[in-house]
Amino acid sequence: MSVKILSSRQFGRQLQLFRKQLMLPREELGRKTGLTIKDIEDLESGNGDPALSVINLLAETLNISPAELLHSQSGYDSEYLAYRFRLFQIINKMSKKDLKEAIQNLDG
């Protein structure tokens, strides 16, 4: 497995993907971490340079390892995998009845 260290911009995109995967608004992430919305915006845009303590805090809040914020596995579309993972989490929480109804709604 090839691992590469992310630039500030890539780190920001990775942070944003994991935040959106949890459907967590910036305001909520800020509230849970003690960071301001501006701090979150700066980090996601690649303008912030987070300390290790901030990276650990973000990872803990997003329920991932710090390495997942700092490294990207090459050959994978991380956005696709993040949304796919979140979709599976949602589906696994659904009852069989609700899942069947959702599938029927998709069919028309």
The pLDDT assigned to 96 comes to 87
pLDDT tens, position by position, 7-17: 888 889 889 98
Segments making up each domain of the chain, as ranges: 3-107
CATH top-level class for 3-107?
mainly alpha
The pLDDT assigned to 2 comes to 44
pLDDT tens, position by position, 56-108: 999 999 988 898 888 765 545 666 666 777 777 788 888 889 888 888 888 76
The b/e string for 33-48 (b: 16+ C-beta within 10 A; e otherwise) is bebeeebbbbbbebeb
Cβ neighbours around 18 below 10 Å, total? 23
Higher model confidence: residue 41 or residue 4?
41
For residue 20, what are the contacts with CB-CB under 8 A and spacing of at least 6? 82
- pLDDT of 4 > 60? The answer is no
